[in-house]
Structure formats: C-alpha cells, structure tokens
Amino acid sequence: MSQKGHKRRLRPSHKALAVVSALVLGGGGVVIVAQGAFAGQDSRTAPVTATIDCPDVGDQLREVPEQARAEVDENLARLDTQVADAYGKLSSGRAQSDALLAELKEQRTKTIAGVSDAIGKAGARPEGLEPLSTCSMQQAPAADPADEPAAQGEAPSGAQSEEQGQAQGQAQGQAQSQAQGDAQGLARKGGGGSAGGPARSDFVAIGSVKPNVRTPARRAGASTGSFAVQCGRNENRHLNPDNVIVAPGVGNGAHHMHDYVGNKTADAFSTNNSLAASGTTCTNGDQSTYYWPVLRLRDGRAEKDAKAPGGGQDANVGTILRPKQVTIEFKGSAVSRVAAMPRFLRIITGDAKALTNGTANANASWSCTGFENRQLKDKYPICPKGSDVVRTFNFQNCWDGKNADSANHRTHVAFAARDGSCPKGFKAIPQLVQRITYGVSPGARIAVDSFPEQLHKPVTDHGDFINVMSDRLMADAVGCINGGRACR
C-alpha cells in the first residue's frame, strides 16, 4: 500500500443523521425525529431516528489502478464531506429535506463522475456508478430520549470472575431466569440511553436464545491444528479513531474509537514499511495489527474523548470498557491444508455500516461465557451474573492467491462454504478467530462504537487485521495447523 503524501481530516461519515422536526441530543448531535414525521407512521409509536442513506460508492469499486488511487481517495473523501455538510444543514434547520436531498444529489453526481474519470484515465472506466448519487431518508428505532443512565452511572465490574458452573444443569437454569429478569428490567429502563444509543429491541437475554452454532464436518485431509498468539488486552491503551485499511491517510477516518493489540504504531498514516519497523505487544514477535471498535458503558460519565473526534464529536459517549481477555487464534480448514498468508494481507470482517448497507457483510457475533453455543448477530446479549459478554470475530478463511487487498477491501478474500470448501479460484488460509470478553453487570447498557448514523447497533460490529508476521513466523503457524498441533 502506498503512503499518502497528504493528510485529510474528514467530517462525519458516509451517511449522516438527518432531522425532520428534530430534537438534537448531546454527545455528537444525534437526532431523534418527531413522531409522525414520516408519512404513514403511527403517531403513537416510539420515536425514530432518521438517516440520510447514500449508496456506498467505495464498496462498489472493483478495480482501481494504483496510479488512480490518490485521486479516487480524494473524491471519496469529498463525498463524505458533502453528506456531513448536508447533516449540518438539516440538524440546524437551515434546509428542508427534499431540497437538501436534491442539492446533495447534484454534488454527488459531480464527485462520482470524478471517481470514474480518475479510474478511466488509467484503465477501463467503471460502469454503474452514476445512480449512486441518489440518497434517501431511512428510519430506525431509537432509544427513548427520556431514558436515564443505568444504575445511576455505576461502573462495570471490570474484574468480575467467571463462574464455570453456570453453563450446566441447575445453575444454567437459574442463570437463564436471572438473564430474563435482567432483560425485563433493561426494557423498563429503556435499553441504551440517549445520544443515539441502541434501542430496547437491540438487547436480549442470552438464556432465551436457542443454541445455533454449527460447524462443518471434517473431511480427510483437513487441517486440524491451531496457532495462538498472545498479544495482551491493550494494556498500553493504544486507541485512535483511524482505519488504515479503509481510510489510509485520513485522520478520524473511522469516526469511532478502535482498540488495538499487536502492532504498537498502527494508525491512519501507517505504511507497510512503518508497520514492519514497529514494536509489538505480541509475545512471539508478531507485528500484525489487530483492531476493533471499543465497547462502552452508557453510564453518563465523560470519557477522555468526550469532546474529541471519534468520541463525543461522533456520538460515541460513555466509559470505554477495557477487555477482560483477548484471545487470538488461527485455525485450519475442515476440508484441506492451509496455505500461508502473504505479508501485509488485509482483512475486514463484518460491516461498520450494516444498518444502512444491509446485513450481507455483517459477521461479528455476540454471546456470553457459558453460553457460546448461542451466537447473536443483531442483538446485544444480557448475560447473567458471573457470565462475561463475549464478542467473536471469525475472519474470512479463503484467499484469491494473488492480492493482499482489493478496491473494496473484500473481494480478495472470502468465507468457506458450509461444507468448508473455498470458492473456485480461492485457497484455504489460516482462519483468524478473535474472542474478546468484558466483565459487565447484568443488564448494563453497553454500546459498540459506530459511525453516528449507525446508531450503535450490534449488527455493525466488525474487526480489522493486517498480517505483519514474518515469513518464518507464518510458516510456523501453517506448520502447526497442517500438522494437527495446538501451538501456543
């Protein structure tokens, strides 16, 4: 990946919150639309939050020549700024929605043409981008603006111990009853608080979820080993709102805060060379960067980033929860041996914009210790006492054998099919599985950091990975996995 020669500071994200007879709340300008604002909406229903839903141009790109990347990046950044400006006009009441959407379409048409022109100068001009200029209003359930912070701002029990017996027998039955009661209490209190927090419907008692985990049957020739990497749990508090994969060279390109383990210097302006020269928190020398959005407790307290980009300025508020444990493990294929990943391979799992983009790329899952045969994609779990919240990221485990990245950061990798086989033209690689646990009180209001317009929905959770293992270390990992050994 080439280093960008300039530094861009973007305004809020690809699709911005909009107002139609709105109440603007604190913590980043989150907007609650008045009841009945949308045609046909029952005025007795709960408030809804509106977004301006603009098609994701970057996600639609398949080929961007290297010499066009800088100009394409500039135009994609301009699209972000245009939507941010539209949000500012709507939230301040300086424009009507119909007129603003028309103005936004005109701006986007010119900018998208710039994207096409840049690519066309260096190769084949892309087709089908012009219709992406049209944006629309979208509504979604919002937190009740009258909600008060849970438990009078009580902090989470960060050092909570795990009670092993709750996963079985009578103890599990009691835990399920406890979780269901906590769910009812959370619903009465309102789910996630203000500032665009998740809605009541975004939480569910884990005890009410049926087991749903399925794994493909192993075939002859499967790679059954594993390779674990010990990188700590971000004790050095490496945090920033950047995303060097999706927005290289863009400060606050993520518009939400990321936790990091592994590479000590990863940020928006990292290059392959700087990552390779960095120190690491991993005990085996793995310089890879592993990062994900922070999880917050909606406790009404002001975090250090309460007035900063990626924090309060982007509607991400509350106490940042420190992981209790971070487990990083690479696993094999159910049907074949695995091949080595190339150094600097980039993989994103999940979709930070799944609320507006749809759930096709949503992948991260939520659960509780003692209940991990029950995984949730679009709900936060309410865990019983003694059980920790668990986030799991199963990364793509098939690679096209050629590219370390792709124009939309997705098409160079893929998931294996249900039977464990890779798509045609792809080969199996070690599958990164990240598991992160948090000790929180039962029923505590938690929210994953997100783009403001994504309303902190659990379905928007995601993880990012850049492989910076040395060739020797990657060979060791592949040897353990193909050899059926558990290496730690």
pLDDT tens digits, 119-129: 999 999 999 99
Is residue 118, in this structure, part of any structural domain at all?
A: yes
266 and 363 together in one domain: yes
pLDDT score at 84: 61
pLDDT score at 369: 98
Question: 178 with 387: CB under 8 angstroms?
Answer: no
Closest CA to 445 of 263, 262, 185: 185
478 and 417 together in one domain: yes
Q: Bridge partners of 435? A: 327, 392
22 and 137 together in one domain: yes
Q: Which pLDDT tens digit goes with each residue over 427-478?
A: 999 999 999 999 999 889 999 999 877 889 999 999 999 999 999 999 999 9
Coil vs helix vs strand at 70: helix
455 and 329 together in one domain: yes
Half-sphere exposure of 325 (CA within 13 A, CB side): 16
Rounded to the nearest 5°, which phi and psi values hold at 317?
Answer: -130, 160
Residue 206 vs residues 49, 156, 203, 364, 450: alpha-carbon distances, Å: 27, 19, 9, 16, 23
pLDDT score at 144: 46
Task: Report how many domains make up the chain.
Answer: 2
Q: Bridge partners of 438? A: 389
Residues of the chain with pLDDT under 50: 1-48, 144-176, 178-195
Query: Where in the sequence is the domain holding 70, given as residue range(s)?
Result: 8-141
136 and 157 together in one domain: no
Q: Which two tokens stand for residue 102?
A: 């028309």
Coil vs helix vs strand at 446: strand
pLDDT score at 174: 47
245 and 218 together in one domain: yes
pLDDT score at 49: 59
Predicted TM-score (pTM) of this structure: 0.81
The identity of residue 147, as a single letter, is D
- Cα dihedral 218→223→227→233 (10° resolution): -40
pLDDT score at 255: 86
365/367 Cα distance (integer angstroms): 7
Q: Which pLDDT tens digit goes with each residue over 273-317?
A: 999 999 999 999 999 999 999 999 999 999 999 999 999 888 889
pLDDT score at 71: 86
160 and 137 together in one domain: no
87 and 163 together in one domain: no
Is residue 96, in this structure, part of any structural domain at all?
A: yes
The radius of gyration computed from the CA coordinates of the chain, to the nearest angstrom, equals 22
135 and 160 together in one domain: no
pLDDT score at 93: 65
160 and 86 together in one domain: no
